[in-house]
Amino acid sequence: MVATAVAPTTPGRAHPTIPPAVCLTTPPLPKHGPCRHHGPVEPQTDTPALSVILPAKNEAAALAPLLDHLRQAQPQAQIIVVDDGSTDDTPAICAAAGVQCLSSPYSMGNGAAIKRGARAANGEIIVFMDADGQHDPALIERLLARLAEGYDMVVGARDWSGQAGVGRGLANTLYNWLASKMTGHAVLDLTSGFRAVRADKFREFLHLLPNGFSYPTTCTMAFFRSAYTVAYEPIPVAPRVGKSHIRPLKDGIRFLLIIFKIATLYSPLKLFVPVAAAFFLTGLGYYGYTYVTIHRFTNMSTLLFSAAVIIFLIGLISEQITALTYRRDV
Mean pLDDT of the 92-112 span: 92
Q: Which range, 15-24, 129-138, 205-214, has the best average confidence (pLDDT)? A: 129-138
The Cα–Cα gap between 91 and 245 comes to 19
The Cα–Cα gap between 308 and 272 comes to 9
Mean pLDDT of the 321-325 span: 80
Beta carbons of 179 and 216 less than 8 angstroms apart: no
Q: Is the pLDDT of residue 141 over 90?
A: yes
Name the band, by pLDDT with cuts 50, 70 and 90, for residue 161. low
Q: Between 75 and 254, where is the model more confident?
A: 75
Contacting residues for 309 by C-beta, under 8 A, at least 6 apart:
276
Strands (E), 169-309: 195-198, 230-234
Contacting residues for 209 by C-beta, under 8 A, at least 6 apart:
111, 114, 115, 215, 218, 219
pLDDT given for residue 245 in this prediction: 54
The Cα–Cα gap between 162 and 145 comes to 22
What would the pLDDT profile of 191-205 be if each residue is shown by its tens digit?
898 999 999 999 999
Q: Is the pLDDT of residue 14 over 50?
A: no
Provide the whole-model pTM: 0.72
Beta carbons of 283 and 308 less than 8 angstroms apart: yes
What would the pLDDT profile of 124-137 be if each residue is shown by its tens digit?
999 999 998 889 99
The Cα–Cα gap between 90 and 245 comes to 16
The Cα–Cα gap between 124 and 135 comes to 21
The Cα–Cα gap between 317 and 268 comes to 9
